[in-house]
Amino acid sequence: MKKFQLVVATAMLLIATSFLALAQQPAQAPPQPMSFFITSAGSGHGANLGGLAGADKICQTLATAAGSTKTFHAYVSTQGPNAVNARDRIGNGPWYNAKGEKIANNLADLHGDTLELARLGNNLGKISGLTEKGGTIPGRGDTPNQHDMLTGSQTDGTAYKDSADHTCGNWTSEATGTAQLGHFDRSGGNNQSWNSAHPSRGCSQDNLVSTGGAGLFYCFAIN
């Protein structure tokens, strides 16, 4: 009888201890709201996004349709006398994808502004580079490969200062020019740059597809 009572008391003590441990565990923080995504669709007109305003509108329309209340800007630079740097128009971070995974803490982290940050790199890649719907984008090794992202930017997120066209007429042309592209999956052509891997063959949708893209681009929340 005493042995049975001891077993029961031990079991109850274990149960009470388990409940106490659960009660003392900190509440799990809710996932961060989406503040970064790759567009699930482009303009349908190659690199003609309708200029900066048109690119931002695409970002905002997709984000709103996905339920976001944040304000989004496209990560694209422009050239010329009134050049705009992509890095200067996307807020200060941190940025999270549609699943709450952190992409980067801030602008320096995103672009690898110091040797240490460049060594560590941001968290953008094939797994974390999601659309506003939380979907994945085909990358290198997939058919079709759509890893090319329109950016018109140098690796530090700034605009090109030479006379060559790196932005398809500041995102208004699908006929002439080229666009600088990044690889969201950090793979292909011996270039792992997410924002400045190589130029496109042209500005039309067919040109973008032929170099491994679909006219997609990055969107970042500014708030």
Query: Strand, helix or coil at 117?
Result: helix
Q: Give Cα separations from 32 to 29, 38, 99, 132, 177 (angstroms).
A: 9, 17, 8, 14, 39
Looking at residue 25, its pLDDT comes to 52
Q: Give Cα separations from 111 to 27, 54, 105, 136, 195 (angstroms).
A: 33, 25, 10, 22, 9
Q: For residues 147 and 27, is the Cβ–Cβ distance under 8 A?
A: no
Looking at residue 173, its pLDDT comes to 98
DSSP bridge partners of 180: 199
Name the residue with higher pLDDT: 194 or 26. Answer: 194
Q: For residues 95 and 108, is the Cβ–Cβ distance under 8 A?
A: no
pLDDT digits (tens, 9 = 90+) for 106-119: 999 999 988 788 77
CB-CB neighbours of 207 under 10 Å: 20
Would you call the peptide bond into 30 cis, given omega within 30 degrees of 0 as the criterion?
no
Looking at residue 121, its pLDDT comes to 82
Tell me the percentage of the chain whose pLDDT exceeds 90.
Answer: 80
pTM beyond 0.85, yes or no: yes
DSSP bridge partners of 168: none
Q: What are the residue boundaries of the structural domains of the chain, listed by start?
A: 36-221
**Residue indicated by tokens 């990560």:** 75
Looking at residue 30, its pLDDT comes to 80
Mean pLDDT of 150-155: 98
Outline where DSSP puts E strands in the chain: 36-38, 72-74, 95-96, 102-104, 148-150, 180-183, 198-199, 213-221
Euclidean distance between CA atoms 131 and 140, whole angstroms: 17
- Of residues 113, 141, 136, 109, the one with CA closest to residue 125: 136
188: confidence class by pLDDT, cuts 50, 70, 90 = confident
9: confidence class by pLDDT, cuts 50, 70, 90 = very low
Asked whether residue 2 carries a pLDDT value surpassing 90, the answer given is no
Mean pLDDT of 13-17: 46
Euclidean distance between CA atoms 37 and 105, whole angstroms: 15
Looking at residue 15, its pLDDT comes to 46
CATH of domain 36-221: 3.10.100.10
